[in-house]
Amino acid sequence: MNPSFGTELTGLSLAQTSASAGPTSSSEHGLSRSNESGPLSARTTYSDDDGAVKLYNSYRFTFDTVYGPSSSQEEVYAQCARPAVLNVLQGYNASIIAYGQTGTGKTFTMEGEEGSDRSGIIPRAIQDVFSSIARDTGERCRFLVRASYLQIYNEVISDLLKPGPGNLGVREDRRRGVHVEGLSEWVVRSPGEVFMLMRKGAAGRTTGATKLNEASSRSHAIFMLTVEKAVLLDDGPGGASAAGLAAAMELAGVPGTGPALRQTVRVGKLNLVDLAGSERVHVTGATGQRLEESKKINQSLSTLGNVISALAGGARAGREGKPHVPYRDSKLTRILEDSLGGNCKTTFLAMISPAVEAYSESLSTLKFANRAKNVRNAPTVNEDLDHRTLLRKYELELRRLRAELQQKSKDLVDKRLLLELDAARRREQADKLAAISALERQSAEIMRHKAAMAALQGRISLMQSQLLVGGHRVEDTPQFRQLLAAEQDRIRGQYQARLAELEAEREVMAEGHAQVERYRVLLCKQRDIMTALTQRLGERDGQVLALQGKLDAALARQRELEDGLDARTAEMLGMRRAATEAAADAATQGGPAEEGETEEGATEGLDGAASGGGAPQGSAADAALEHTSLWRIPAVRIGAGHEERQPGPMLLGPHTDTSSEAGSSVNGRGASSQGDAGPDGDGRTSDTASQSPAPDPAPSARRAEVLASPAAGIPGTDSPAARPASATKLPPDTPTLLQTKLEALRRERSALRSILQEKVAVVVADAERSLRSGGLNAEAPQDAVKKLSQQLAYVQNLVGATISAMAPSE
């Protein structure tokens, strides 16, 4: 109880003395049961101002706490209200109801003076709720606080935070229980926001001046604060850390968490009720509207009393065996149904006045409070494991809104882009139109000016033609002539200056042209030189190739003759063997007397032996036979008289270099050639041998003779047709000569290539130097420079082609 200090009633101490302070701890069920009530035997007498003495009974009551005039708001809050607030944070429903006679300090106790130490329970409770939330820093906890404020005035429920037509209905359903339908709920995040709501609600609350209270509350006011607390359970995958992380991500707006995690939500509701004061009409002197208000107030308080009485056991059992509790008899009791005997921890603050005039109201209040202490409530924690809580709805809604926001942001960006593009296009269009308009205007202006100038010129001409000076026309006056002459001089001077400028320009251009021409000629010359050089190179290449062919043919022929020689050598060896055998046979038949003859004959008949007639004995004979046979073999072949005979013997030159025996045979062949010039030429060796001269004493000289005149003394060789070209044209040492010539040609070709490269480099460098050094200066005509550049490019191409053509083919 919070004692009031009504000024007119100061000094009366009925209430204070009749109420005793009981234990301060609340019972488990919210209301303490009084253990004592009823009038005491003692009586107290008081005299009023008129001197009349009145007798008052004394009563004794026991309550949880009794507060006197010196008690502070802080004290009241800490002992009466704070436990209720903490219970709400645990998920309980709690109600703090201020009950009492008008003017006893209910509003002061509940609201107090904001922002001072006289602030009441409501602001302190709000501070406490948010402080507790702030202290609960676990990342797995989330809170949602919302507030509502209503009043019941003349049995009409109205929303103090959202004024409207009023008269809201009270409904009850399984999901929400008893509730005021259509009452606004405001989500608040700070005490400041709640205070703002309170101020707004207090401004809408109906008050009026009465005799006992200048600002008497003419309505019951209920401030509701609902706290939802969600705790993520750590029994899912990942445990507490995962739950904490998921909660943090969810708070940060990261999608993909929440529904998959288990969480519990506890919902606690705090009702802070400031009832209208009961009043005795004859005391307050209410009339009219105040009287009607008083009746309604008293009626609803009476119903409250009845409900309390019923709950406290005074009611008879109804049809179902339960006592009838008249909740529906008033809006107040209907709304506070949970607080009165239901799922709530309820605290009654009974206000009484110390004034002796308020004796009966104070006694009534104390009796009411005493009965209320006997009411048993059944508070339970409101734990919600399904999706009924607003917090869960908010989470779902938040997720949906975030997705919508993202989509809208995207749409907005797209739209903004389109709008910007459209705006840019419009601006461009507008700029273009403006430019066109400006041009048109300028054009029209110029045309006007031109027309005006033409008109002016016409007028001037006309005036001049009409103007007479000293009786003459202006043109005929000397002044005019002088002016005209001066003007003509000026124009002539300008003209000549301009002419000189043009002439200078023309000269510069001509110089440029000449320079270009010079370069062109130079380039042509260089090009011709290069062409000639290239041609020469081509010819040399042709010669080299031809000689190479000849050399190859000569080498092939040489190989062929060598093969032939090998065959003849084999043949001759066979013949020598036969001659030796024949000589041996003759020696056996002739005897020693013939030895001298035989020896001579053998000497003479060496050739005959070679043809099978006889064979010398010993090494000397063998050597003579071999020698003779070697130069005779060709004689036999040539003697055959065939026009197509092989020119082989004349090509044996190279072979003689490698063997002295072969050299002898060549000499022998040279001799035989002379021998072959004989008349028969039938190849009969016996005849030939007898007519043949002795072996040639100077074979090398004969060989040289043969080589110098290959066809000399050979029948049939005077006809060119009878000789193969290669045999007649090539000198005897053709391969060596060809090799030498080929080498010389290669050297020449290499030298030519070097010369050509040098020349090309000189030409290119020349042209580039000329271009760089300003042979064609900046004033030279551009087309001349261009032409020169093209020519230079042409030369460069030519050079490139020539060089690649000269690349060694071996």
Ligand X SMILES: Nc1ncnc2c1ncn2[C@@H]1O[C@H](COP(=O)(O)OP(=O)(O)OP(=O)(O)O)[C@@H](O)[C@H]1O
* Residue 102 C-beta: closest distance to ligand X, Å: 4
100 is in an annotated binding site: yes
Q: How many other C-beta atoms are found inside a 10 Å radius of the C-beta of residue 584?
A: 11
Could you say whether residue 107 binds ligand X (CB under 6 A)? yes
Could you say whether residue 216 binds ligand X (CB under 6 A)? yes
Return the residue matching tokens 């000849």: 550
Map residues 339-368 to x or -, x wherever contact with ligand X holds by CB under 6 A: ------------x-----------------
- From 106-114, 138-146, 233-241, 286-294, span contacting ligand X (CB under 6 A): 106-114
496 is in an annotated binding site: no
Give 462-476 as a DSSP string: HHHHH-EETTEEGGG
Query: Total number of residues binding ligand X (CB under 6 A)?
Result: 15
Map residues 250-279 to x or -, x wherever contact with ligand X holds by CB under 6 A: --------------------------xx--
Closest to ligand X by CB, 91 or 100: 100
Closest to ligand X by CB, 212 or 633: 212
Q: At what angle do helices 478-590 and 595-604 cross, to 10 degrees?
A: 160
* Residue 360 C-beta: closest distance to ligand X, Å: 17
Residues 276-305 that bind ligand X (CB under 6 A): 276-277
- From 15-23, 96-104, 694-702, 741-749, span contacting ligand X (CB under 6 A): 96-104
CA-only gyration radius of the chain, Å:
74
**Strand ranges inside 418-573, DSSP E:** 468-469, 472-473
* Residue 1 C-beta: closest distance to ligand X, Å: 11
- Of 166, 274, 271, 168, which is closest to residue 217 (Cα–Cα)? 274
- From 211-219, 439-447, 601-609, 688-696, span contacting ligand X (CB under 6 A): 211-219
Whole-angstrom distance, CA of residue 361 vs CA of residue 313: 23
Residues 6+ apart with CB under 8 A from 780: 508, 509, 511, 512, 515, 516
- From 28-36, 134-142, 209-217, 691-699, span contacting ligand X (CB under 6 A): 209-217
Residue in 18, 62, 217, 664 binding ligand X, rule: CB under 6 A: 217
Could you say whether residue 119 binds ligand X (CB under 6 A)? no
Return the residue matching tokens 């700070």: 190
* Residue 69 C-beta: closest distance to ligand X, Å: 7
Could you say whether residue 32 binds ligand X (CB under 6 A)? no
678 is in an annotated binding site: no
Please, are residues 635 and 676 in contact by the beta-carbon 8 Å criterion?
yes
* Residue 46 C-beta: closest distance to ligand X, Å: 23
Could you say whether residue 103 binds ligand X (CB under 6 A)? yes
Closest to ligand X by CB, 125 or 792: 125
741 is in an annotated binding site: no
Residues 6+ apart with CB under 8 A from 321: none
Please, are residues 88 and 225 in contact by the beta-carbon 8 Å criterion?
yes
Cα–Cα distances (Å) from 593 to 580, 590, 596, 599, 741, in that order, read 20, 8, 7, 11, 64
Q: How many other C-beta atoms are found inside a 10 Å radius of the C-beta of residue 197?
A: 20
Is residue 98 helix, strand or coil? strand
Closest to ligand X by CB, 69 or 253: 69
Closest to ligand X by CB, 102 or 734: 102
Please, are residues 217 and 276 in contact by the beta-carbon 8 Å criterion?
yes
* Residue 280 C-beta: closest distance to ligand X, Å: 13
Could you say whether residue 120 binds ligand X (CB under 6 A)? no
Could you say whether residue 105 binds ligand X (CB under 6 A)? yes
342 is in an annotated binding site: no
Please report, for the chain, how many H helices and E strands are present, in that order. 23, 18
Closest to ligand X by CB, 120 or 512: 120
* Residue 414 C-beta: closest distance to ligand X, Å: 59
- For the chain, the first-to-last Cα distance in angstroms comes to 130
Closest to ligand X by CB, 277 or 732: 277
Please, are residues 362 and 353 in contact by the beta-carbon 8 Å criterion?
yes
State the DSSP code for 216: E
Please, are residues 97 and 265 in contact by the beta-carbon 8 Å criterion?
no
Closest to ligand X by CB, 276 or 610: 276
Could you say whether residue 613 binds ligand X (CB under 6 A)? no
Structure tokens at 734: 């053709």
* Residue 214 C-beta: closest distance to ligand X, Å: 7
Structure tokens at 630: 């070697």
Map residues 156-195 to x or -, x wherever contact with ligand X holds by CB under 6 A: ----------------------------------------
Please, are residues 146 and 111 in contact by the beta-carbon 8 Å criterion?
no
Could you say whether residue 151 binds ligand X (CB under 6 A)? no
107 is in an annotated binding site: yes
Residue 652 CB burial class (10 angstroms; 0-12, 13-18, ≥19): buried
* Residue 4 C-beta: closest distance to ligand X, Å: 5
Residue in 4, 65, 184, 362 binding ligand X, rule: CB under 6 A: 4
Could you say whether residue 223 binds ligand X (CB under 6 A)? no
Closest to ligand X by CB, 101 or 791: 101
Contacts made by residues 569-578, CB under 8 angstroms, sequence distance 24+: 571/633, 572/626, 572/629, 572/630, 572/633, 575/610, 575/612, 575/629, 576/610, 576/615, 576/622, 576/625, 576/626, 576/629, 578/612, 578/615
Structure tokens at 470: 């000293």
Could you say whether residue 106 binds ligand X (CB under 6 A)? yes
Closest to ligand X by CB, 365 or 515: 365
Could you say whether residue 104 binds ligand X (CB under 6 A)? yes
- From 95-103, 161-169, 430-438, 705-713, span contacting ligand X (CB under 6 A): 95-103
Return the residue matching tokens 């020698």: 627
* Residue 202 C-beta: closest distance to ligand X, Å: 12
Closest to ligand X by CB, 213 or 717: 213
Whole-angstrom distance, CA of residue 265 vs CA of residue 233: 10
Containing 41, the helix (H) or strand (E) segment is strand 39-47
Could you say whether residue 63 binds ligand X (CB under 6 A)? no
Residue in 102, 119, 370, 580 binding ligand X, rule: CB under 6 A: 102
* Residue 134 C-beta: closest distance to ligand X, Å: 30
Encode burial over 482-518: b for 16+ CB neighbours within 10 A, e otherwise.
Answer: eeeeeeeeeeeeeeeeeeeeeeeeeeeeebbbebbee
Closest to ligand X by CB, 364 or 664: 364
* Residue 86 C-beta: closest distance to ligand X, Å: 24
Whole-angstrom distance, CA of residue 667 vs CA of residue 665: 5
- From 212-220, 373-381, 708-716, 723-731, span contacting ligand X (CB under 6 A): 212-220
Please, are residues 388 and 324 in contact by the beta-carbon 8 Å criterion?
no
* Residue 327 C-beta: closest distance to ligand X, Å: 23
Give 55-74 as a DSSP string: EEEEE-EEES----TT--HH
Whole-angstrom distance, CA of residue 179 vs CA of residue 199: 23
* Residue 107 C-beta: closest distance to ligand X, Å: 3
Could you say whether residue 791 binds ligand X (CB under 6 A)? no
* Residue 205 C-beta: closest distance to ligand X, Å: 10
Could you say whether residue 213 binds ligand X (CB under 6 A)? yes
- From 210-218, 405-413, 418-426, 475-483, span contacting ligand X (CB under 6 A): 210-218
Please, are residues 205 and 216 in contact by the beta-carbon 8 Å criterion?
no
Residues that bind ligand X (CB under 6 A): 4, 100, 102-108, 213, 216-217, 276-277, 351
Known binding-site residues for ATP equal 100-107
Known binding-site residues equal 100-107
